[in-house]
Every structure is written in C-alpha cells, then in structure tokens.
Structure 1
C-alpha cells in the first residue's frame, strides 16, 4: 500500500517517495571519504588531545613527566655498552701523552653520549707538540686518541728563552738550556722561527764544516750570519744565502780560507766580498808590508 496525501483541492494522490534536498546533501557528504574519516578519527583524536592538554596543565603532572624522561635518558646513557672506561693515546711520547690527559681531563667512567669528540679533537690539536690527531670510541669502552707528534728540528734562542722548533717553525716545547738538545742546530735572533726552512738548508750546506758550526744568527729578521768557533762569522746576503755559503765552503776546501786569521767573511754585497782580519793577522800583514816598503826604499 502506498501512502496517500491530501491535496489542497481535497483529491487524494500518492506521496512523493524521493528524499528531501537536505537529506540528499547530507547523504552525499557522508559518502565523502574525508568527512567519514573526520567523524570516525578526527573528532575522537581531538577529544583525546583536548583531554591530554588539560591533563598536562597540572604542574605536578609536568614535573613527573620531566623526571621520568630524565630517568629514562640516564638509564639509556648509563648502560654498560655506552660507557667509556679509559683513554688510550697512541703515536706520541709519554710526556706529550701526559699533556693530552691534562688538557682533556675526563673523569672515567663516563657515557659516550656525554663526550663531544669534535671538541676533544680541537682541544688536543691546539697543543703545540701535536701535528695531527684523530679521536674515536672503539669497542670495549676505550677512547682512542691517535696523534702525530711534531719532531723538533732546531733549537731557537728566543727572547723569552730556549724553544724547540719543528720544520714548520712551530714551537714544540721549551727547554731550560742548550745542553738538553745538543744534537740539534742552534738558531737565534728575531724572526728566526719564520725562516726555519732556509736555516735547515744552510745547516745542510755547512755539513763539511759542521764540527766548527756553532749556530745561525738572524739579523734584522731578513738575513743570516753563520757563526763558527774561533769567533769567525760568515755574513750572508739577504737573497740566495745558500749558494753564497756553498762558495765559501768550496774556497775553504781549495785554500783553507777558514783556517786563516780571519774574523768575518762579509758576503752581504755579492759583487764585493770582504774579509776582516783578526788583530794578530792585521799586525802581521802590516809588518810584512812595512818590511816590503823598507826594502823598496833602499
């Protein structure tokens, strides 16, 4: 039986079975996936979120949660597999290893999460005796420091004391006196640490007279004097000092120049080398010239 409805003129007719326009739109909206997801998931999540926010507004709840997070973090950090128990320093002498330990001053055991390896490397690399360094944590809870130590090449008599310089002119360490490193060449003067490579070349060129070499003196931060025993000095030019020293060595081999009564060999002007005689040699030369002058006068 179909329902009947009463028309305005009193004639009965069949009711319209179709839904209203509002009902049709609501049904279309409900069939939309986004709307259904919002009703089934979004609204419940929003309710839970609002409840959580209101719950977390309580101070004691926030304190308890923060304390629990700290305890959880500490529990993870302090697990045995993450603990560093000791430091191994390789590639350097005992003295430098002690300096490294004093610089980083880590209290072991400590968690690997608390170690900043980049900062540790920078701290160790800043030490004067260290040329290069690598830091890592190896299995077994060992902080491994692999370093390359600078090798002293010269002793520099600096204004503030004796220092050991490497081939790059870096001050490796300080010493109390020259006798501590007698096997190393000695340099002195302002700017000597800025011309280490040239100084080493001069020391190598002076190898034939190394037993007489006392050191190199930097003059005016621009040129070298070669200081020998018997108070002899070879004054080298500012430019190309090595070839100039080599010429003196060759002349000494040929004529025993350095065995003569000479105090200074001045090569500062390459076109006009000058010899300065000692007092005895000068007096002897004057005596010989006087004899020759007297003989020629007769």
Structure 2
C-alpha cells in the first residue's frame, strides 16, 4: 500500500512462472517467461483448463507429418495433379480398367473405340470421366450416339448407335457416303455399300432423298437408274443402265415420270437406240437418237416414202 492508501501490485516474471510450474508437473507443456503480449491470452487458456491436457510425446512428429501431407495435397490440387494421383492410387487398389464391352457397332471397329478411350492398362475406373469418354466415342465418323457406363470394379460398357447411309455422293472426283438429310459420313472406299443410289453434282446430297422417293413410285424406271445427276442445282437428269439420259423438268416431275412410264410400256421407248429423252417441255417428249438409231430411222422413213410413192403410182 502506498502513502495515498492505494494498493499496488507488483508483477514479476516469477509470478507468471508459478502457474506454469504448477501445471508443468502434469502437462510439461509450458515453461519459461511469456512475452507481455501473450500473458493475457495465457491466463484465459489456464481458466479453460488447458493446463490439464496431456500431450503425448509423438504429437509433434504427428502434427508435422499432417502438415506435410496437407501441403502435398494442396500442391497437387493447385498444380492440377490431383486427378492423376487419384487415378494411380485407385488403380493400384484394384480398380484399373481391364474389361471393355462394346455393342451396337457394325461399321466402327472395336480398335477405333478403344483408341478414343486412351486406356493405358492402369486407367482407374473411379477417376474415369464417362461424359468425356462418351463424347470421344461419339466423335467417330460412323457413330450417331454413344452411351458409356461404369461396371465396378474394373469394366466399362459402351453402347453405340451408328449412322445409316442413304446414298453415295459424287462431287468432282470424290465419293462420300451421306445420310438421308445429306450429312456426310465417311469417304466411299469399298464396294460394301455399292448398291446405294449414286447422286452426282453440287447440292445433290441434300436433295437426293426427295428425287429417289419420286422415282421409286415408278419401279420400271427406278430399277434401271444408275445415277441421279443434279443439273445447275435446279433439276435432275436420270442416267439409265443402257446409257439413256432422262432430262426431268424443274416442276411437274411426277407428271413427266408417269407419262414416260406409260409411253415406255406402250412402245418400249427406253429400249430403243436413243441417247436421251427430254421432258422439260410440258406438252411433248423430245427424243434424241443415237447415230445408229438415226441411220435406222432415216432408212425406215425412206422405205416408207418408197412404199407411199409406189402405192400412188398403182392408183
């Protein structure tokens, strides 16, 4: 107590060591003199009972190992190595893909599908991105759509729906298989689809379905068509198996084909020595003869004229 009657406390470092010494016999955690800034938080911790905690001797190495592990995991995450780490760990745990089951593919080989999956023998089923795998398979030329499913622990099931070729499109020197809507599938390189309609010229692939359907309504003509030629991207020529060209009009195709079919049934027009039948005029057919046909026609006309003259003289 000072001369003014006030009570004065003198705080020494030994005073702060007292509680440490008392708790140190049990915890062995705190010792020495605390800096001034930590004295108040230290007293709060003492009141909460932290001094009664028992810290085992291996706590420091354990916490150090945990810190190092957390640092490694964080580094892999930031560096983008986490997926690779997960793939490796799960693959070695028995989840490596060893069985791939593919169904629905006829034009697409199993090898093509496997190459798109990029399996390396240690690809983990756990870390496999099925959406990315499906997109890779669906990008193959013949594939319309694909489904990829995981079958644990080590299998993948892939179901493929393939495109349907409708025609062979010739543009210049190139031959392509196309769908009914004209979308390209793949180059035509074998005779496997040689029985498909051959459409020729600019714009022919997108218009082929309509003309093939119209001609199919007249089987006697359709069975003889070798190619459908798009002219000026406006109308069609039909080239028959005997070399005859049928020139269809821009409008009224159905009427022109019906008239031609009736004429052919009545006179066998398409089996004669002709080069082309022009149906672009509404009221008539214009027939172009071959050179041999022209000779025969000329000879027939002369013979007919002779007969008419001879008959006139007799009368």
Identify whether the pair has TM-score above 0.5, normalized to the shorter chain.
yes
Higher fraction of strand: 1
CA shift digits 1:37-61 (9 cap, x unpaired): xx99xx99xxxxxxxxxx9xxx998
Which residue of 229, 240, 252 maps to 1:228?
240
Kept in 2: contact 1:152–1:167 (CA 8 A): yes
- Aligned pair 1:86/2:99, yes or no? yes
What's the counterpart of residue 156 of structure 1?
Answer: 169
CA shift digits 1:241-272 (9 cap, x unpaired): 34532432232123212122322111233344
- Aligned pair 1:184/2:196, yes or no? yes
Q: Shift of the alpha carbon at 1:197? A: 1.1
Which residue of 98, 110, 113 maps to 1:97?
110
How many Å separate the matches in 1 of 2:215 and 2:68?
A: 72
Residues 117, 244 of structure 1: alpha-carbon distance in 2 compared, 3 angstrom cutoff: farther
CA shift digits 1:93-149 (9 cap, x unpaired): 264333222333222331234322222222222222112221221234222211111
How many Å separate the matches in 2 of 1:74 and 1:198?
A: 52
The size of the alignment, in residue pairs, is 245
Q: Shift of the alpha carbon at 1:225? A: 1.1
How many Å separate the matches in 2 of 1:103 and 1:286?
A: 68
Secondary structure of 2:109's match?
A: helix
CA shift digits 1:279-298 (9 cap, x unpaired): 23333334444455665697
Aligned CA RMSD, in angstroms, stands at 3.7
CA shift digits 1:229-248 (9 cap, x unpaired): 33201111223534532432
What's the counterpart of residue 72 of structure 2?
Answer: 67
Kept in 2: contact 1:189–1:218 (CA 8 A): yes
What's the counterpart of residue 121 of structure 1?
Answer: 134
How many Å separate the matches in 2 of 1:76 and 1:174?
A: 43
Kept in 2: contact 1:129–1:150 (CA 8 A): yes
CA shift digits 1:136-165 (9 cap, x unpaired): 212342222111112323222233522222
Q: Which moved more, 1:93-102 or 1:121-130?
A: 93-102
Secondary structure of 1:285's match?
A: helix
What's the counterpart of residue 29 of structure 1?
Answer: none
Q: Which runs of 5+ in 1 are unaligned?
A: 1-38, 45-54
Q: Which runs of 5+ in 2 are unaligned?
A: 1-43, 50-59, 77-81
Secondary structure of 1:89's match?
A: strand
What's the counterpart of residue 274 of structure 1?
Answer: 286
Kept in 1: contact 2:108–2:142 (CA 8 A): no
TM-score by length of 1: 0.67
Kept in 2: contact 1:205–1:246 (CA 8 A): no
How many Å separate the matches in 2 of 1:240 and 1:229?
A: 24
Secondary structure of 1:245's match?
A: helix
Residues 207, 141 of structure 1: alpha-carbon distance in 2 compared, 3 angstrom cutoff: farther
Matches within 5 A, 1:1-298: 63-67=68-72, 73=86, 77-78=90-91, 80=93, 82-93=95-106, 95-176=108-189, 179-202=191-214, 204-290=216-302, 295=308
